[in-house]
Amino acid sequence: MPQQRTPIARLERAALVGLMAGRVRRLEAERSLDELAGLASAAGAEVVLRVLQERPKPDPSTYLGAGKIQTLAASCSELRVDVVVFDNELTPAQLRQIEAAVGCKIVDRTQLILDIFARRARTREGKLQVELAQLKYLLPRLVGAGTALSRLGGGIGTRGPGETKLETDRRRIRTKIHAISEDIEQVRRRRGQLRERRHKASVPTVALVGYTNAGKTTLFNVLTRSNAEASNALFVTLDPLVRQVRLPDSRELLVSDTVGFIDRLPHALVAAFRATLEETADADLVLHVIDASASDRDRRMAAVREVLDEVGATEVPLVEVYNKCDALTGEERRRLQEQEPDALYISALTGQGVDELVETIASRLELDVRRVTLAFDPDAAEDRERIARLYRHARVVEHEVRDGRVSIVADVPRRLLDRLGGQPR
Protein backbone atom coordinates (compact mmCIF):
# COMPACT_ATOMS: atom_id res chain seq x y z
CA MET A 1 0.00 0.00 0.00
CA PRO A 2 1.36 3.41 -0.83
CA GLN A 3 2.11 5.50 2.17
CA GLN A 4 -0.61 7.97 2.88
CA ARG A 5 0.51 11.52 2.40
CA THR A 6 -1.12 14.73 3.47
CA PRO A 7 -1.45 16.80 0.32
CA ILE A 8 0.42 20.07 0.52
CA ALA A 9 -2.07 22.90 0.22
CA ARG A 10 -1.32 24.62 -3.07
CA LEU A 11 -3.05 27.70 -4.30
CA GLU A 12 -5.25 27.00 -7.29
CA ARG A 13 -4.05 28.82 -10.40
CA ALA A 14 -6.86 30.94 -11.76
CA ALA A 15 -7.56 32.75 -15.02
CA LEU A 16 -10.07 35.62 -14.96
CA VAL A 17 -12.28 36.39 -17.92
CA GLY A 18 -14.35 39.53 -18.43
CA LEU A 19 -16.26 41.14 -21.21
CA MET A 20 -16.45 44.74 -22.31
CA ALA A 21 -19.93 44.52 -23.69
CA GLY A 22 -22.07 47.33 -25.00
CA ARG A 23 -21.49 50.51 -23.05
CA VAL A 24 -19.27 48.98 -20.41
CA ARG A 25 -16.04 50.83 -20.88
CA ARG A 26 -12.59 49.43 -20.45
CA LEU A 27 -11.94 51.14 -17.12
CA GLU A 28 -15.09 49.72 -15.59
CA ALA A 29 -14.36 46.27 -16.95
CA GLU A 30 -10.82 46.48 -15.54
CA ARG A 31 -12.12 47.47 -12.12
CA SER A 32 -14.65 44.71 -12.17
CA LEU A 33 -11.85 42.27 -12.99
CA ASP A 34 -9.76 43.70 -10.13
CA GLU A 35 -12.63 42.97 -7.81
CA LEU A 36 -12.94 39.48 -9.26
CA ALA A 37 -9.23 39.01 -8.48
CA GLY A 38 -9.96 39.97 -4.86
CA LEU A 39 -12.76 37.43 -4.79
CA ALA A 40 -10.56 34.75 -6.33
CA SER A 41 -7.90 35.32 -3.72
CA ALA A 42 -10.52 35.20 -0.96
CA ALA A 43 -11.46 31.79 -2.37
CA GLY A 44 -7.86 30.64 -2.11
CA ALA A 45 -6.68 31.06 -5.68
CA GLU A 46 -3.74 32.80 -7.30
CA VAL A 47 -4.49 34.81 -10.44
CA VAL A 48 -2.11 33.94 -13.29
CA LEU A 49 -4.03 35.29 -16.28
CA ARG A 50 -6.52 38.06 -17.03
CA VAL A 51 -8.50 38.17 -20.24
CA LEU A 52 -10.79 40.98 -21.38
CA GLN A 53 -12.68 40.70 -24.63
CA GLU A 54 -14.55 43.45 -26.39
CA ARG A 55 -17.87 42.19 -27.72
CA PRO A 56 -21.24 43.87 -28.16
CA LYS A 57 -22.85 41.03 -26.24
CA PRO A 58 -21.91 37.61 -24.87
CA ASP A 59 -21.93 34.70 -27.30
CA PRO A 60 -25.00 32.64 -26.39
CA SER A 61 -23.18 29.33 -26.43
CA THR A 62 -19.62 30.07 -25.36
CA TYR A 63 -19.84 33.58 -23.87
CA LEU A 64 -16.58 34.60 -25.57
CA GLY A 65 -16.19 34.32 -29.34
CA ALA A 66 -14.98 31.04 -30.80
CA GLY A 67 -11.51 32.37 -31.62
CA LYS A 68 -11.04 33.84 -28.17
CA ILE A 69 -12.05 30.56 -26.55
CA GLN A 70 -9.33 28.79 -28.53
CA THR A 71 -6.72 31.30 -27.40
CA LEU A 72 -7.96 30.96 -23.84
CA ALA A 73 -7.64 27.18 -23.99
CA ALA A 74 -4.05 27.46 -25.24
CA SER A 75 -3.03 30.01 -22.58
CA CYS A 76 -4.65 27.94 -19.87
CA SER A 77 -2.73 24.85 -20.74
CA GLU A 78 0.52 26.79 -21.07
CA LEU A 79 0.08 28.51 -17.71
CA ARG A 80 -1.21 25.35 -16.01
CA VAL A 81 -4.46 27.03 -15.05
CA ASP A 82 -6.69 25.02 -12.71
CA VAL A 83 -9.79 27.15 -12.85
CA VAL A 84 -11.21 29.81 -15.16
CA VAL A 85 -13.42 32.37 -13.49
CA PHE A 86 -15.94 34.31 -15.57
CA ASP A 87 -16.95 37.74 -14.34
CA ASN A 88 -20.63 37.11 -14.98
CA GLU A 89 -23.18 34.46 -14.32
CA LEU A 90 -23.04 31.82 -17.04
CA THR A 91 -25.98 29.79 -18.27
CA PRO A 92 -25.75 26.05 -17.63
CA ALA A 93 -25.26 25.49 -21.36
CA GLN A 94 -22.44 28.03 -21.60
CA LEU A 95 -20.76 26.44 -18.62
CA ARG A 96 -20.75 23.03 -20.30
CA GLN A 97 -19.63 24.28 -23.70
CA ILE A 98 -16.79 26.34 -22.30
CA GLU A 99 -15.65 23.52 -20.09
CA ALA A 100 -15.54 21.19 -23.08
CA ALA A 101 -13.58 23.70 -25.15
CA VAL A 102 -11.10 24.86 -22.53
CA GLY A 103 -10.63 21.58 -20.73
CA CYS A 104 -10.42 22.83 -17.17
CA LYS A 105 -12.76 23.76 -14.41
CA ILE A 106 -15.00 26.75 -15.16
CA VAL A 107 -16.78 28.78 -12.52
CA ASP A 108 -18.74 32.00 -12.75
CA ARG A 109 -18.84 35.02 -10.49
CA THR A 110 -21.87 33.75 -8.61
CA GLN A 111 -20.28 30.40 -7.88
CA LEU A 112 -17.11 32.11 -6.73
CA ILE A 113 -19.02 34.27 -4.25
CA LEU A 114 -21.00 31.27 -3.02
CA ASP A 115 -17.74 29.42 -2.58
CA ILE A 116 -16.22 32.17 -0.44
CA PHE A 117 -19.31 32.23 1.70
CA ALA A 118 -19.12 28.44 2.08
CA ARG A 119 -15.51 28.74 3.27
CA ARG A 120 -16.24 31.50 5.72
CA ALA A 121 -19.49 30.37 7.29
CA ARG A 122 -18.89 29.44 10.90
CA THR A 123 -22.21 29.32 12.65
CA ARG A 124 -24.98 26.83 11.96
CA GLU A 125 -27.15 29.62 10.68
CA GLY A 126 -24.48 30.89 8.30
CA LYS A 127 -23.83 27.40 6.97
CA LEU A 128 -27.51 26.73 6.42
CA GLN A 129 -27.93 29.98 4.55
CA VAL A 130 -24.99 29.33 2.26
CA GLU A 131 -26.07 25.78 1.56
CA LEU A 132 -29.53 26.96 0.65
CA ALA A 133 -28.12 29.49 -1.79
CA GLN A 134 -25.82 26.87 -3.32
CA LEU A 135 -28.63 24.40 -3.80
CA LYS A 136 -30.81 27.05 -5.40
CA TYR A 137 -28.00 27.91 -7.75
CA LEU A 138 -27.49 24.25 -8.61
CA LEU A 139 -31.07 23.22 -9.16
CA PRO A 140 -31.58 24.70 -12.64
CA ARG A 141 -28.12 23.48 -13.59
CA LEU A 142 -28.78 19.83 -12.89
CA VAL A 143 -30.60 18.99 -16.10
CA GLY A 144 -28.37 17.17 -18.53
CA ALA A 145 -25.30 18.22 -16.64
CA GLY A 146 -22.25 16.23 -17.55
CA THR A 147 -18.78 16.71 -16.22
CA ALA A 148 -19.56 20.10 -14.76
CA LEU A 149 -21.32 18.51 -11.81
CA SER A 150 -19.23 15.44 -11.26
CA ARG A 151 -15.95 17.17 -10.65
CA LEU A 152 -13.26 15.40 -8.81
CA GLY A 153 -10.70 17.05 -6.64
CA GLY A 154 -11.15 20.12 -4.54
CA GLY A 155 -10.98 23.85 -4.80
CA ILE A 156 -13.35 26.50 -5.97
CA GLY A 157 -16.75 25.26 -6.96
CA THR A 158 -16.46 21.97 -5.14
CA ARG A 159 -17.03 23.11 -1.59
CA GLY A 160 -20.48 22.95 -0.14
CA PRO A 161 -23.09 20.44 -1.13
CA GLY A 162 -20.97 17.42 -1.85
CA GLU A 163 -20.54 15.19 -4.81
CA THR A 164 -23.06 12.57 -3.75
CA LYS A 165 -25.72 15.18 -3.19
CA LEU A 166 -25.12 16.72 -6.58
CA GLU A 167 -25.65 13.40 -8.27
CA THR A 168 -29.01 12.80 -6.73
CA ASP A 169 -32.09 13.85 -8.57
CA ARG A 170 -33.81 17.18 -8.51
CA ARG A 171 -36.50 15.96 -6.20
CA ARG A 172 -34.08 15.18 -3.43
CA ILE A 173 -32.52 18.59 -3.82
CA ARG A 174 -35.93 20.18 -3.65
CA THR A 175 -36.69 18.24 -0.48
CA LYS A 176 -33.41 19.41 0.97
CA ILE A 177 -34.11 23.01 -0.01
CA HIS A 178 -37.43 22.70 1.72
CA ALA A 179 -35.91 21.27 4.88
CA ILE A 180 -33.19 23.92 5.07
CA SER A 181 -35.70 26.68 4.42
CA GLU A 182 -37.67 25.43 7.40
CA ASP A 183 -34.61 25.39 9.61
CA ILE A 184 -33.77 28.89 8.51
CA GLU A 185 -37.32 29.99 9.15
CA GLN A 186 -36.90 28.74 12.71
CA VAL A 187 -33.68 30.67 13.13
CA ARG A 188 -35.45 33.68 11.72
CA ARG A 189 -38.29 33.41 14.20
CA ARG A 190 -35.80 33.07 17.02
CA ARG A 191 -34.01 36.19 15.80
CA GLY A 192 -37.31 37.99 15.63
CA GLN A 193 -38.01 37.05 19.24
CA LEU A 194 -34.59 38.26 20.36
CA ARG A 195 -35.15 41.53 18.55
CA GLU A 196 -38.54 41.84 20.14
CA ARG A 197 -37.00 41.34 23.56
CA ARG A 198 -34.35 43.96 22.86
CA HIS A 199 -37.04 46.27 21.67
CA LYS A 200 -38.95 45.79 24.89
CA ALA A 201 -35.79 46.49 26.83
CA SER A 202 -35.66 49.75 24.87
CA VAL A 203 -32.03 49.41 23.90
CA PRO A 204 -31.64 51.02 20.48
CA THR A 205 -29.70 49.24 17.74
CA VAL A 206 -27.28 50.68 15.24
CA ALA A 207 -26.51 48.51 12.21
CA LEU A 208 -23.28 48.84 10.28
CA VAL A 209 -23.70 48.09 6.60
CA GLY A 210 -21.52 48.63 3.59
CA TYR A 211 -19.60 47.19 0.72
CA THR A 212 -17.26 44.35 1.55
CA ASN A 213 -13.90 45.62 2.86
CA ALA A 214 -15.27 49.10 3.68
CA GLY A 215 -14.04 48.79 7.27
CA LYS A 216 -17.27 47.84 9.05
CA THR A 217 -15.65 45.40 11.43
CA THR A 218 -12.77 47.74 12.17
CA LEU A 219 -15.29 50.42 13.10
CA PHE A 220 -17.36 47.88 15.05
CA ASN A 221 -14.26 47.02 17.07
CA VAL A 222 -13.53 50.67 17.78
CA LEU A 223 -17.11 51.37 18.86
CA THR A 224 -17.53 48.26 20.98
CA ARG A 225 -13.91 47.82 22.08
CA SER A 226 -14.06 44.31 20.62
CA ASN A 227 -11.64 42.21 18.76
CA ALA A 228 -13.61 40.73 15.87
CA GLU A 229 -11.65 39.65 12.82
CA ALA A 230 -11.01 42.46 10.35
CA SER A 231 -8.81 41.97 7.33
CA ASN A 232 -8.11 43.11 3.84
CA ALA A 233 -9.67 39.96 2.37
CA LEU A 234 -13.21 40.19 1.01
CA PHE A 235 -16.18 38.85 2.93
CA VAL A 236 -14.37 38.30 6.21
CA THR A 237 -17.54 38.79 8.20
CA LEU A 238 -20.50 36.54 7.51
CA ASP A 239 -22.21 36.01 10.80
CA PRO A 240 -23.84 38.99 12.39
CA LEU A 241 -22.32 40.22 15.61
CA VAL A 242 -24.18 42.34 18.11
CA ARG A 243 -22.47 44.03 21.03
CA GLN A 244 -23.53 46.43 23.66
CA VAL A 245 -21.93 49.81 23.85
CA ARG A 246 -22.05 51.94 26.94
CA LEU A 247 -21.29 55.56 26.29
CA PRO A 248 -19.20 57.41 28.86
CA ASP A 249 -22.32 58.88 30.46
CA SER A 250 -23.76 55.35 30.79
CA ARG A 251 -26.21 55.57 27.91
CA GLU A 252 -26.55 52.23 26.20
CA LEU A 253 -26.96 51.06 22.66
CA LEU A 254 -26.34 47.96 20.58
CA VAL A 255 -24.13 47.91 17.52
CA SER A 256 -24.40 45.16 14.91
CA ASP A 257 -21.87 44.20 12.28
CA THR A 258 -22.91 42.04 9.39
CA VAL A 259 -22.03 40.54 6.05
CA GLY A 260 -20.70 43.00 3.47
CA PHE A 261 -22.38 43.65 0.17
CA ILE A 262 -20.96 43.49 -3.31
CA ASP A 263 -21.96 44.44 -6.80
CA ARG A 264 -24.14 41.74 -8.37
CA LEU A 265 -24.53 39.91 -5.09
CA PRO A 266 -26.15 36.64 -6.13
CA HIS A 267 -29.86 36.89 -5.64
CA ALA A 268 -30.06 33.42 -4.08
CA LEU A 269 -27.58 34.61 -1.49
CA VAL A 270 -29.53 37.72 -0.60
CA ALA A 271 -32.65 35.59 -0.30
CA ALA A 272 -30.88 33.01 1.86
CA PHE A 273 -29.33 35.68 4.08
CA ARG A 274 -32.65 37.40 4.56
CA ALA A 275 -32.72 36.39 8.22
CA THR A 276 -29.35 38.01 8.78
CA LEU A 277 -30.14 41.08 6.75
CA GLU A 278 -33.45 41.65 8.46
CA GLU A 279 -31.46 42.78 11.47
CA THR A 280 -30.65 45.80 9.37
CA ALA A 281 -34.23 46.50 8.40
CA ASP A 282 -35.14 46.41 12.06
CA ALA A 283 -32.39 48.67 13.36
CA ASP A 284 -33.09 52.13 14.74
CA LEU A 285 -30.26 53.61 12.73
CA VAL A 286 -28.16 52.39 9.83
CA LEU A 287 -24.59 53.52 9.34
CA HIS A 288 -23.56 53.11 5.72
CA VAL A 289 -19.80 52.63 5.97
CA ILE A 290 -18.07 53.74 2.78
CA ASP A 291 -14.46 53.23 1.74
CA ALA A 292 -13.75 56.85 0.87
CA SER A 293 -10.50 55.88 -0.81
CA ALA A 294 -12.04 53.46 -3.33
CA SER A 295 -11.86 54.78 -6.86
CA ASP A 296 -15.18 53.18 -7.78
CA ARG A 297 -16.87 54.46 -4.60
CA ASP A 298 -20.09 55.52 -6.33
CA ARG A 299 -20.67 52.15 -7.93
CA ARG A 300 -20.15 50.47 -4.57
CA MET A 301 -22.52 52.83 -2.81
CA ALA A 302 -25.15 52.14 -5.44
CA ALA A 303 -24.72 48.38 -4.94
CA VAL A 304 -25.22 48.80 -1.19
CA ARG A 305 -28.36 50.88 -1.67
CA GLU A 306 -29.73 48.22 -3.97
CA VAL A 307 -29.32 45.50 -1.37
CA LEU A 308 -30.80 47.72 1.36
CA ASP A 309 -33.74 48.18 -0.90
CA GLU A 310 -34.06 44.48 -1.50
CA VAL A 311 -34.16 43.65 2.20
CA GLY A 312 -36.62 46.39 2.96
CA ALA A 313 -34.32 48.62 4.98
CA THR A 314 -35.03 51.87 3.17
CA GLU A 315 -37.27 53.23 5.91
CA VAL A 316 -34.59 53.13 8.57
CA PRO A 317 -32.81 56.44 9.17
CA LEU A 318 -29.37 56.28 7.59
CA VAL A 319 -26.11 58.13 8.07
CA GLU A 320 -23.36 57.92 5.48
CA VAL A 321 -19.96 57.42 7.06
CA TYR A 322 -16.96 57.95 4.85
CA ASN A 323 -14.24 55.75 6.34
CA LYS A 324 -10.52 55.46 5.55
CA CYS A 325 -10.19 59.26 5.38
CA ASP A 326 -6.58 58.84 6.47
CA ALA A 327 -5.95 57.48 2.97
CA LEU A 328 -7.24 60.63 1.25
CA THR A 329 -5.23 63.73 0.44
CA GLY A 330 -6.43 66.94 2.07
CA GLU A 331 -7.69 68.12 -1.27
CA GLU A 332 -9.69 64.92 -1.96
CA ARG A 333 -11.26 65.14 1.43
CA ARG A 334 -12.24 68.80 1.01
CA ARG A 335 -13.88 68.06 -2.30
CA LEU A 336 -15.81 65.14 -0.88
CA GLN A 337 -16.98 67.17 2.09
CA GLU A 338 -18.20 69.88 -0.22
CA GLN A 339 -20.17 67.35 -2.22
CA GLU A 340 -21.63 65.57 0.80
CA PRO A 341 -21.79 68.01 3.68
CA ASP A 342 -24.20 65.89 5.72
CA ALA A 343 -22.01 62.81 5.79
CA LEU A 344 -19.46 61.97 8.46
CA TYR A 345 -15.76 61.61 7.80
CA ILE A 346 -13.76 59.20 9.88
CA SER A 347 -10.86 56.81 10.02
CA ALA A 348 -11.63 53.68 11.97
CA LEU A 349 -7.93 52.94 11.82
CA THR A 350 -6.63 56.13 13.45
CA GLY A 351 -9.80 56.92 15.41
CA GLN A 352 -10.13 60.28 13.72
CA GLY A 353 -13.75 61.51 13.71
CA VAL A 354 -15.01 58.62 15.83
CA ASP A 355 -16.04 60.80 18.78
CA GLU A 356 -18.11 62.95 16.49
CA LEU A 357 -19.66 59.82 15.02
CA VAL A 358 -20.66 58.62 18.48
CA GLU A 359 -22.23 61.99 19.22
CA THR A 360 -24.14 61.85 15.95
CA ILE A 361 -25.39 58.36 16.76
CA ALA A 362 -26.51 59.53 20.19
CA SER A 363 -28.40 62.49 18.84
CA ARG A 364 -29.96 60.60 15.94
CA LEU A 365 -31.14 57.90 18.34
CA GLU A 366 -32.43 60.60 20.65
CA LEU A 367 -30.38 59.19 23.47
CA ASP A 368 -29.96 62.65 24.91
CA VAL A 369 -31.96 63.13 28.06
CA ARG A 370 -34.62 65.53 29.27
CA ARG A 371 -35.29 66.19 32.93
CA VAL A 372 -38.90 65.51 33.82
CA THR A 373 -41.00 65.56 37.00
CA LEU A 374 -43.72 62.93 37.24
CA ALA A 375 -46.42 62.23 39.82
CA PHE A 376 -47.74 58.77 40.61
CA ASP A 377 -50.38 57.09 42.73
CA PRO A 378 -48.53 54.29 44.55
CA ASP A 379 -51.79 52.44 45.20
CA ALA A 380 -52.50 51.96 41.50
CA ALA A 381 -50.89 48.87 39.98
CA GLU A 382 -50.47 50.67 36.68
CA ASP A 383 -48.54 53.49 38.30
CA ARG A 384 -46.32 51.12 40.23
CA GLU A 385 -45.45 49.52 36.89
CA ARG A 386 -44.66 52.97 35.45
CA ILE A 387 -42.38 53.76 38.38
CA ALA A 388 -40.52 50.48 37.83
CA ARG A 389 -40.14 51.32 34.15
CA LEU A 390 -38.77 54.71 34.98
CA TYR A 391 -36.16 53.18 37.25
CA ARG A 392 -35.17 50.77 34.50
CA HIS A 393 -34.80 53.22 31.66
CA ALA A 394 -34.11 56.60 33.17
CA ARG A 395 -31.87 58.07 35.81
CA VAL A 396 -33.93 59.00 38.84
CA VAL A 397 -32.57 62.09 40.60
CA GLU A 398 -35.29 62.63 43.18
CA HIS A 399 -37.98 60.41 44.66
CA GLU A 400 -40.40 61.98 47.10
CA VAL A 401 -43.51 60.68 48.84
CA ARG A 402 -45.86 63.34 50.06
CA ASP A 403 -49.53 63.06 51.03
CA GLY A 404 -49.68 59.54 49.61
CA ARG A 405 -48.38 60.68 46.20
CA VAL A 406 -45.04 59.83 44.69
CA SER A 407 -43.17 62.55 42.92
CA ILE A 408 -40.14 61.61 40.83
CA VAL A 409 -37.63 63.81 39.05
CA ALA A 410 -35.72 61.86 36.39
CA ASP A 411 -33.50 62.23 33.35
CA VAL A 412 -35.31 60.40 30.56
CA PRO A 413 -33.83 59.61 27.13
CA ARG A 414 -35.70 61.75 24.62
CA ARG A 415 -36.68 58.70 22.57
CA LEU A 416 -38.54 57.25 25.55
CA LEU A 417 -40.35 60.40 26.67
CA ASP A 418 -43.63 59.25 25.16
CA ARG A 419 -43.46 55.75 26.50
CA LEU A 420 -42.51 56.79 30.02
CA GLY A 421 -45.21 59.39 30.05
CA GLY A 422 -43.08 62.43 30.73
CA GLN A 423 -43.25 65.97 29.45
CA PRO A 424 -40.00 67.86 29.29
CA ARG A 425 -39.74 70.40 32.01
Ligand X SMILES: Nc1nc2c(ncn2[C@@H]2O[C@H](COP(=O)(O)OP(=O)(O)OP(=O)(O)O)[C@@H](O)[C@H]2O)c(=O)[nH]1
Using the minimum distance from each CB to ligand X, give the nearer residue, 120 or 393.
Answer: 120
Binding site for ligand X (CB under 6 A): 210, 212-218, 230-232, 234-237, 260, 323-324, 326-327, 347-349
232 binds, among Mg ion, ligand X, none (CB under 5 to 8 A by kind): ligand X
Comparison of 161 and 260: residue with beta carbon closer to ligand X: 260
Q: Tell me the residue nearest to ligand X as measured from the CB.
A: 260
HEC string of the chain? CCCCCCCCCCCEEEEEEEEECCCCCHHHHHHHHHHHHHHHHHCCEEEEEEEEEECCCCECCCECCHHHHHHHHHHHHHCCCCEEEECCCCCHHHHHHHHHHHCCEEEEHHHHHHHHHHHHCCCHHHHHHHHHHHHHHHHHHCCCCCHHHCCCCCCCCCCCCCHHHHHCCHHHHHHHHHHHHHHHHHHHHHHHHHHHHHHHCCCCEEEEEEECCCCHHHHHHHHHCCCCCCCCCCCCCCCCEEEEEECCCCCEEEEEECCCECCCCCHHHHHHCHHHHHHHHCCCEEEEEEECCCCCHHHHHHHHHHHHHHCCCCCCCEEEEEECHHHCCHHHHHHHHHHCCCCEECCCCCCCCHHHHHHHHHHHCCCCEEEEEEEECCCCHHHHHHHHHHHHHCEEEEEEEECCEEEEEEEEEHHHHHHHCCCCC
Q: Judged by CB under 5 A, does residue 33 bind Mg ion?
A: no
Q: Which segment (14-22, 87-95, 231-239, 390-398) binds Mg ion by CB under 5 A?
A: 231-239
329-353 as b/e, with b when 16 or more CB fall inside 10 Å? eeeebeebeeeeeebbbbbbbeeeb
Is 224 a binding residue for Mg ion by CB under 5 A? The answer is no
Q: Which of 120, 88, 81, 118 is nearest to 102 (CA)?
A: 81
Give me the least distance between CB of 212 and Mg ion, in Å please. Answer: 8
User: What Å distances lie between residue 81 and 75, 103, 291, 385, CA to CA?
Assistant: 8, 10, 33, 70
- 237 versus 276: smaller Cβ distance to Mg ion: 237
Taking CB under 5 A as the criterion, which residues in 241-260 touch Mg ion? none
Minimal distance, residue 41 CB to ligand X, in Å:
12
Q: Which is nearer to ligand X, 300 or 393 (CB)?
A: 300
Complex with ligand X: residue 40 or 214, whichever CB lies closer: 214
Which residue in the shown chain puts its C-beta closest to Mg ion? 237
- Residue 348 touches which of Mg ion, ligand X, none (CB < 5 to 8 A by kind)? ligand X
Give least dist CB 289 to Mg ion, A: 10
Q: Does 53 bind Mg ion (CB under 5 A)?
A: no
Q: Which does 347 bind (CB under 5 to 8 A by kind): Mg ion, ligand X, none?
A: ligand X
Task: Rank residues 156 and 234 by Cβ distance to ligand X and give the closer one.
Answer: 234
- Taking CB within 5 to 8 Å according to partner kind, which of ligand X, Mg ion, none is near residue 215? ligand X
CB atoms within 10 A of CB 193: 10
Which is closer to ligand X, CB of 81 or CB of 348?
348
324 is in the binding site of which of ligand X, Mg ion, none (Cβ under 5 to 8 A by kind)? Answer: ligand X
Q: Residue 256 touches which of Mg ion, ligand X, none (CB < 5 to 8 A by kind)?
A: none
Out of ligand X, Mg ion, none, what residue 214 binds, judged by CB under 5 to 8 A for its kind, is: ligand X
Determine, following the binding rule CB under 5 A, whether residue 217 of this chain makes contact with Mg ion. yes
State the binding partner of 129 from ligand X, Mg ion, none, CB within 5 to 8 A by kind: none
Residues that bind Mg ion (rule: CB under 5 A) add up to a total of 4
Q: Does position 236 bind Mg ion by CB under 5 A? A: yes
- Least distance between Mg ion and beta carbon 55 (Å): 36
Q: CB of 147: closest distance to ligand X in angstroms?
A: 33
Give least dist CB 42 to ligand X, A: 8
Binding residues for Mg ion, rule: CB under 5 A, are: 216-217, 236-237
